Chains A and B, each alone.
Chain A
Amino acid sequence: MKDEVVVRIDGLHKSFGPLEVVKGVDLEVHRGEVVVVFGRSGSGKSTVLRCVNFIEDPTAGSIEVAGIRLEGGHRTRRKHEQIRQLRLHVGMVFQQFNLFPNMTVLDNVTCAPRCASRGSNAEIEKRAKDLLDRVGLADKAKEHPIRLSGGQQQRVAIARALAMQPDVMLFDEPTSALDPELTGEVLSVMKTLSTELHMTMMVVTHEMGFAREVADRMAFFHEGRIHEMGTPEQLIESPTRPETRAFLDAVL
């Protein structure tokens, strides 16, 4: 089932007032695939990611996740609920972690499955502890997030998103807010998601080492469009577009 499409983005446009940030993006992500999205700030890469789970409402175009297809444009009450159903299939990890400071680490991870009644409390808690173990933070379950380092917080955020057993994980610059010595622990957890769980992932990042190692495909965003797309070897070693080359020269 390697060819099963988990995320299908079709003719996506997004404007903020008069400013058009995304100007027609088409992208398919297959099950188990890791797509790294990169490009200059303001190129629309984060916005596309945030449109996939309707944190931003697309102005036009459509998004399909796990067979749920939704058009952009105005929200009706019915669509509001459909968006929520779609989100249950999508995990998201934010640049600023966004852990809930009023809850313990364990409660952060169990909160959403409890809200969605995904099994008994004991099952949910067991799964949450397994996930915390997977990200190497089983001993921090009873702590509050403020007592963790940035890298630890981001790993909890990954466990929190995984707890919903999503079909795809979105990472929006997951290491950009971290001190350099803490990015490694987050990237290595992300790598195990791909190698061990075969998780489908869309990752906005400038970590080219991670991209080279983990990505199946890379998409370079420029002025609201996918400017160039290919395998990491193609894009990093021999980009065809001058904009891609200029950007890579700047970050490598």
Chain B
Amino acid sequence: MGEAWERLQLASARVPFRLKVAVVWVGIFAVLAFVGNAAQFDTDWIRDNLRYIVGGVRYTMTIAVGGIVLAIVMALLGALARTSRNPVAYGIAGFYVSFFRGTPLIVQMFLLYLALPPVGRNLAAEYTWLPEGFDEALLLDIGTAGIIALGLNYGAYMTEIFRSGIQSVAGGQGEAADALGMTYGQKMRRVVLPQAFRVVIPPTGNEFIAMMKDTALVSFLGTTVATAEVFRRAQLVGKADFKNLEAYVAAALVYWGLTVIFTFLQARLEKRIGRGYDRAHVAAAMLAANEQGQPRGGGAVG
């Protein structure tokens, strides 16, 4: 027994680690397939309805992209305020970050979508000097409310990411810009922010991927059938056909697929922006340049 175990270990050592991991993954899928089969998982239903569910990707991505754009703008403003010595800017940004990090995203969505319109109506009724149409101004459609809620919420978290990005730029950089007589705006735009963005892009990619999945919460605001995003569509068809298992598995697979795609794209982007800064890359380039400039075979020796 002991000897057989030892032989197995030695044999195992020759199998590449990645291959073993792949086998584990295949095993997991096999178990899932077995369970799914036993639970009478209806693959035909998925085939018939996947097209409709995947159609929601358009709205999911619209909301996610709109949300991340707003979040980046908010995070940039928030981070500049949090690193400034202006008490008004610092205070407002502090309130913003504290509130949006301190309350659930779903509550913020309902505040924007359901609680804000009456505020507009009541203010318009109270103050007649407000511009015409103010009573309707805070009435948002579901997509807009979702984008704003996601953007403000993620913007609050990303304010801290951007702030640390700005603070990661060496203090000497700001001093050099100051010493050259640059204004605050010039210093930020030309010196500090370009260096901070490099640090901030990877975590921003993570936030985008996280947000893509949180777009599912928008469906709780009651999306219309025509413009439903992935989760809502799965819910609609799943409920209608009593195929909850199939519907939610399909939705999960769609989100998972999107995440895998964007994780891959993010990794490529990170590699790209690392160029020119990365010491290993620079060293390789210098070595190549040196070899080109010198006769092959080491002329110095001969």
Which A residues have a C-beta under 8 Å from some C-beta of B? 53, 55, 84-85, 87-88, 90-92, 94, 96, 98-103, 111-112, 115-116, 144, 146-147, 160-161, 164
B178 engages A102 (CB within 8 Å): no
Q: Which residues of B contact A111 (CB under 8 A)?
A: 180, 190-191
CB-based contact A55/B172 at 8 Å: no
Our pick among B181, B198, B277, B286 for the contact of A87 (Cβ within 8 Å) is B181
Which chain A residues border B173 with CB–CB below 8 Å?
A: 98, 100
In the complex, besides A88-B181, A96-B172, 10 extra interface pairs with C-beta distance below 8 angstroms are: A85-B181, A87-B180, A87-B181, A91-B179, A92-B179, A100-B190, A103-B190, A115-B182, A115-B186, A164-B181
Judged by a CB distance under 8 angstroms, whether B272 is at the interface is: no
Q: For the complex, give the distance between the alpha carbons of A55 and B191 in Å.
A: 17
**A158 to nearest B CB, angstroms?**
13
User: A94 to B181, alpha carbons, bound, how many Å?
Assistant: 15
The reply on B35 being an interface residue by CB < 8 A is no
Tell me the B residues contacting A by CB distance below 8 Å.
170, 172-173, 175-183, 186, 190-191, 194-195, 198, 276-277, 279, 282, 285-286
**Least distance between B192 CB and chain A CB atoms (Å):** 10
Of all chain B residues, the one with the shortest Cβ separation from A84 is B181
Asked if A55 meets B180 with Cβ closer than 8 Å, knowing A98-B172, A100-B173, A147-B282, the reply is no
B179 lies within 8 A of A53 (CB) = yes
B180 near A112 (CB under 8 angstroms)?
Answer: yes
A147 to B276, CA, bound (A): 9
Residues on the A chain within 8 Å of B175, using CB: 55, 94, 98
Q: Which residue of B lies closest to A108 (CB)?
A: B176
Bound Cα distance from A66 to B39, whole angstroms: 86
Which of A53, A91, A98, A103 gathers the greatest number of chain B CB atoms within 10 Å?
A98
Task: Tell me which residues across on chain B come within 8 A of A88, comparing CB atoms.
Answer: 181
Determine the distance from Cα of A55 to Cα of B171 in the docked complex, in whole angstroms.
11
Closest to A146 in B: B282
Contact pick for B181, options A96, A112, A144, CB 8 Å: A112
A164 to B186, CA, bound (A): 15
CB pair B182–A100 under 8 Å, yes or no, is no
CB-CB nearest in chain A for B190: A111
Q: A101 contacts B195, CB within 8 Å? A: yes
The answer to whether B172 touches A112, judged by C-beta atoms less than 8 angstroms apart, is no
Question: Is A115 within 8 A of B277, CB to CB?
Answer: no
User: Considering residues B173, B279, B285, B286, which has the most beta carbons from chain A within 10 angstroms of its beta carbon?
Assistant: B173
Do B176 and A98 have beta carbons less than 8 Å apart? Answer: yes
Listed by A's residue number, 25 A-B pairs whose Cβ atoms lie within 8 Å are: A55-B175, A55-B178, A85-B181, A87-B181, A88-B181, A91-B179, A96-B172, A98-B170, A98-B175, A98-B176, A99-B176, A100-B177, A100-B191, A101-B195, A102-B191, A102-B198, A111-B190, A112-B181, A115-B182, A115-B186, A115-B190, A146-B276, A146-B279, A161-B180, A164-B180
- Kindly state the separation between the CA atoms of A148 and B183 in the bound complex, as whole angstroms: 28
> In the complex, what's the smallest C-beta–C-beta distance from A104 to chain B, in angstroms?
10
Given A102-B191, A102-B194, A146-B282 in contact, is the A94-B182 Cβ separation under 8 Å?
A: no
Partner of B179, one of A90, A99, A115: A90
A99-B173 Cα distance, complex, nearest whole Å: 7
Residues of B within 8 A of A102 (CB): 191, 194-195, 198
User: Which chain B residue has the least Cβ–Cβ distance from A107?
Assistant: B190
Chain A residues near B172: list those with CB within 8 A. 94, 96, 98
- Docked complex Cα distance between A233 and B188 (Å): 46
Best-buried of B176, B190, B285 by chain A (most CB within 10 Å): B176
Which residue of chain A lies nearest to B186 when distances are taken between CB atoms in the complex?
Answer: A115
Given contact pairs A115-B183, A115-B186, A147-B286, A100 touches B176 in the complex (Cβ within 8 A):
yes
State in angstroms the CA–CA spacing of A53 and B180 once bound together: 10
Cα distance A251–B179 in the bound complex, in angstroms:
30
Report whether A146 and B176 are in contact in the complex, using a CB–CB cutoff of 8 Å: no
Sorted nearest first, the 5 A-B pairs with minimum C-beta distance are A112-B180, A98-B176, A98-B172, A92-B179, A88-B181
